[in-house]
Amino acid sequence: MSYTETIGSRTYRFADLKTLLAKASPQRSGDQLAGVAAASEEERVAARMALAQVPLRAFLNEALIPYESDEVTRLVIDDHSPQAFAEISHLTVGDFRNWLLSSTTDADALTRITAGLTPEMVAAVSKLMRNQDLIAAARKRPVITRFRNTVGLPGHMSVRLQPNHPTDDVKGIAASMLDGLMYGCGDAMIGINPASDNLAAITRLLLMIDDFRLRYQVPTQSCVLTHVTNTIAAIEKGAPVDLVFQSIAGTEKANAGFGISLALLQEAYEAGLSLNRGTVGNNLMYFETGQGSALSADAHFGVDQQTCEVRAYAVARKFNPFLVNTVVGFIGPEYLYDGKQITRAGLEDHFCGKLLGVPMGCDICYTNHAEADQDDMDNLLTLLGVAGINFIMGIPGADDVMLNYQSTSFHDALYVRDVLGLRRAPEFEEWLESMQITDARGALLSASPQQPLLEGANDWMGIV
């Protein structure tokens, strides 16, 4: 089905829904690279005007990537709930935006319709929204998950402690981990990007974190971000695996480029569940995504990068994840050119993920060749804190020495929690207070030799 919109004396024609969505997207370098972006701001406005009039039902009748050739499309269509959709089935995309922003639409209403939403519907409405709209609507929709602690409660924000090391040196990783914990970071998880996919090295890291966790009774979860097949192998060998990691994308072909399928993810999910390591819940999958991944794999099929990204969230929600992380600026300026594009993408991803019922966090980051700096990251950090982000990253000095990119630091987490009054996961806050790291309000205490964690840290480091 084609779509048209007239502005003045010029009529714009959009061949199909895929084209209309791409032309309606805010400007970004990835869509320009793919040749799907609007040629002018006027064409972009025309596309948004036409998109606003499209009934939400149209997204159930016109697949952007054919059902027969893409398992993500099949997942989206087969798992769609007509009952949940019924409440909003009469709306156009423009009406849906107004409904989302209405003062009468609350968390209960957004939860009721979750299973009735497709990623294409959610991507479409985001393209009609200003940044403040994305923030306001996302804030209404908490997504709460549990493993050893509870993440995503309103008024709370967690931090993934990322103590990477360029040679996987266990003592170096342990030192960064202790540093982050002393700043009150790590309630989302302690997650290491290994420099090697060697199974023995991965297992050694898992054992180190688990030994520390058990020794100090830390109510958090660990993850070594290796390929899911390595994690399955580690589980089979008896390694202490908490969260199961995998990078995912929004098309079958892009996921094949990662070496995965929905069936493999199901196998990994079941392997993780079999360990029964959660204490307050069993959400255990950890997924990472990022706008541009499908395009970089030549697996986007002409779909704009943001819509491809939101399709990845449909993959994520199938497996009841504990955390989903959009690594927003990591792929580079070929896909998100500057601070403005990174900021917009981060707000889009968070909004779209939350609307689909996904526990969204964000690695607020950029590569050194992007037209961005730490001030841009401060801005996005603050906006996402207002929007109700589930978690952010905590990296020593905001500079990852293994992955060579810029993110957010332990101090950045302190800043956003202070100015917005955000708390950590409640179980983790109780532990921090018991270890004399924070007071009852969650504020850091001055370091002293009496702190139990410091008292034993040197001895523990000696046996790592």
Given a contact cutoff of 8 angstroms between Cβ atoms, the answer to whether 189 and 242 are in contact is yes
Q: What ranges make up the beta strands (E) of 296-429? A: 323-327, 360-363, 391-394, 399-400, 405-406
Given a contact cutoff of 8 angstroms between Cβ atoms, the answer to whether 56 and 89 are in contact is yes
Residue carrying the six token digits 């609350």:
106
- Per-residue burial over 127-161, b if 16 or more Cβ lie within 10 Å, else e, is bbbebebbbbbbbbbbbebbbbbbbbeeebbbbbb
Residue 246 counted as an annotated binding residue: yes
How far out from the chain centre does Cα 285 lie? 12
Residue 194 counted as an annotated binding residue: yes
Specify the length of the chain in residues: 464
Residue 402 counted as an annotated binding residue: yes
Residue 49 counted as an annotated binding residue: no
In Å, what is the CA distance from 78 to each residue of 221, 394, 397?
33, 38, 45
Residue carrying the six token digits 């299973």:
115
Residue 193 counted as an annotated binding residue: yes
- Name 270's Cβ contacts closer than 8 Å, sequence gap at least 6: none
Identity at 287, one-letter amino acid code: F
C-alpha 125/C-alpha 93 separation (Å) is: 6
Structure tokens at 132: 């403040």
Give 211: exposed, middle or buried? Use CB within 10 Å, 0-12, 13-18, 19+: middle
Structure tokens at 365: 């980051």
The annotation places the binding site at 160-162, 193-194, 246, 288, 296, 363, 402
Task: Please enumerate, by residue number, every residue annotated as part of a binding site for substrate.
Answer: 160-162, 193, 288, 363
Annotated binding residues for adenosylcob(III)alamin: 194, 246, 296, 402
